[in-house]
Structure 1
Amino acid sequence: MTETILEPDLPIVDPHHHLWDLRPLLPAFPTPRHPFLEAIAGAAYYDFDALRADIGAGSPDAPSHRVLATVFMECGAYYAADREQAMKPVGEVEYVNGVAAQGASGLYGEYRPCAGIVGHADLTLGDAVTPVVEALIAAGNGRFKGIRHAGAWDADPEVLGPPFHAPEGLYGSDAFRAGFSAFSQFGLTFDAWVLEPQLGDVLALARAFPDQAIVLDHCGTPLGMGKYAGTLPETFERWRASIRAIAECPNVSVKLGGLAMSFCGMPEDGPAKGCGSQELADLWRPYIETCIEAFGTERAMFESNYPVDRWGASYPVLWNAFKRLASGASAQEKRALFCTNAARTYDIAHTLPELSDLP
């Protein structure tokens, strides 16, 4: 679906997207594929050029939002085959840093892809995670900003599908907490991804480490598929209570997005069934407005979660939906929600001339 770009001059820093090559892996998964795999099958090879095409950067004929920069989020891609298990994720950061250097060459305009990089380290390593984090920092060449160790889990393995295998109660385990304590000494960010029934795990983690910056991904991932299909209305109040409790922790920020994932069921059908931005905004409004009300406009940031969120919308339509949802905000609040909060959280403002005056 093609739409006229709303507020085309509003600057955007997209704080959450992936790059990968899943083509060698997809044949190993059983058919019919899990909806998550269906969502990404059309973008099984998602590189710098694919991201540029979705954003419309450098193409005068493509309707595009004004994306200044992006932050890459770990996804288990391009791990180094010739390194010990703990060090394999360093390969992903090395690859993404190369993409960032390609964008920073200026050959593709002012747009700066992967200006910040969030990688992965296994925090269940305890103190042994320290040399891994040091290697990730070195590989990022100034662009490495934090890690994500996803904790998403459900008793029914069909909810998440075969790509995800986090153990139950990961964030509360002694091994994870030991690694988290070691990691917290670096002053980097931690991205937390869990499912709605697990939000208490993030709350407990944030309270246990009040000085560690934590970013809650995807509005806490409300569930509307599989065994959770049709339950969004009945679980909404539980989700809202969890979001409000987590927001009381000043060290936590929230990403406003991810609701177009197949897990959420908003929309139920995908991928890319042609939902318009107004339809999507209506579906997501209760969740986005709750998050902004709880966290305020200084601890919330819109995200694309691309290409996963292709399930629900094209990149231009996705950001149009976000702009509709923020239509009642002031100009300063919009700038914070779409740009400066992400730039500050991931410490990339100094790389962007337009934002170089941010404190």
Structure 2
Amino acid sequence: MACECCCGLVKLLAGVDVRFLLGLRKHKWPINEWDAQYEEDAVDPEIEILDAHHHLFDFKTHDKGLPVPKWIVKLSYLQYDADSMENQMQDPKLIHSFGARLNMLTPYMGEELMKDIEGNGRGHKVVGTIYMECGWKTPGVEECMEPVGEAAMVSEVHAKYPLLCKGMVCFADLRLGKAVEPALIHYKKNPLVKGIRHGLAYTGHPLMSDAAHCDANTASDPKFREGFSLLAKCPGIFVNRRRPILAEGFR
């Protein structure tokens, strides 16, 4: 998914946004325009809600393993124009899997999530949230350690907004077999890490985005099973993509 998003961002550099050059206000992101249309009052607002699966995005600063330098990504966002973005981001896999409003490209961090929770003051009684990994690849480190920087980012968000990210489910590449153990040991030291997700959702369909680290045979691969067996040494649960996770113990 990251590479598909990156292709659209890079294409934006082909034409310079006139509004950016003139210092005029840029368009809102499509998902924000849609969200701003109205705001509903919560049904049964007294019921406590634990948001058991959410993400945080900022392609400008997060290590997403994009095949271009971060300055190119930042420049793409600086000259962002809603019309050109919608025209360029036409990858059918993205549209069919995530919709056309480009939600994964819209910067969405702790501040934005808190605004959504607080809403108009008549929203749900959210007592905590759980962060679900959504792709991270720090360059220049041991392969098994590439995703662990995401946990540090989430811990920083929790420190700033204690209501958020009371637990997190992180990624570890179990296909590495025994070589994945340093990442699991690292996660074990972070009390917010409650589980591991290695997505196994795979269709092979040309119009659907499959999980990034699997194919049709991953679950039966001996190396994957070797890595999977190491989870017995670490507290937490293995989470297969698009399966409900256990929220007990996150409060």
What TM-score bracket applies, with the shorter chain setting the length? 0.5 to 0.7
Q: Deviation at 1:42?
A: 7.0
Q: Deviation at 1:85?
A: 2.0
Match of 2:157, as an amino acid?
A: V
For the residues of structure 2 that align with 1:55 and 1:48, how far apart are their CA atoms? 10
Name the count of aligned residue pairs.
Answer: 188
Q: Cα–Cα, structure 1 residues 101 and 151, in superposed 2: closer, same or farther, change >3 Å? A: same
2:112 maps to which residue? 50
Q: What is the SS of the residue equivalent to 2:195?
A: strand
Q: What is the SS of the residue equivalent to 2:203?
A: coil
| 1:84 equivalent among 131, 142, 150 | 142
Percent of residue pairs bearing the same amino acid type: 30
Match of 2:219, as an amino acid?
A: Y
1:13 maps to which residue? 50
Q: Cα–Cα, structure 1 residues 123 and 101, in superposed 2: closer, same or farther, change >3 Å? A: same
Q: Which runs of 5+ in 1 are unaligned?
A: 105-111, 195-216, 218-253, 256-340, 350-359
Query: Is the 2:201–2:241 Cα contact (8 Å) retained in structure 1?
Result: yes
Q: Give the alignment's Cα RMSD to 1 decimal.
A: 2.6
2:124 maps to which residue? 65
2:158 maps to which residue? 100
Q: Which runs of 5+ in 2 are unaligned?
A: 1-37, 61-72, 78-84
Q: Deviation at 1:44?
A: 2.0
Q: What is the SS of the residue equivalent to 1:20?
A: coil
Q: What is the SS of the residue equivalent to 1:180?
A: helix
| 2:170 equivalent among 119, 135, 144 | 119
Match of 1:22, as an amino acid?
A: F
TM-score by length of 1: 0.48
Report whether the alignment pairs 1:166 with 2:214.
yes
TM-score by length of 2: 0.67
Which protein is richer in helix relative to its size?
1
For the residues of structure 2 that align with 1:176 and 1:75, how far apart are their CA atoms? 20
For the residues of structure 2 that align with 1:39 and 1:170, how far apart are their CA atoms? 31
Report whether the alignment pairs 1:2 with 2:64.
no
> Which consecutive segments of 4 or more residues in structure 1 shift more than 6 A?
none
Q: Deviation at 1:193?
A: 1.1
For the residues of structure 2 that align with 1:2 and 1:189, how far apart are their CA atoms? 36
| 1:134 equivalent among 175, 181, 185 | 185
Q: Cα–Cα, structure 1 residues 39 and 152, in superposed 2: closer, same or farther, change >3 Å? A: farther
Q: Deviation at 1:167?
A: 1.3
2:250 maps to which residue? 348
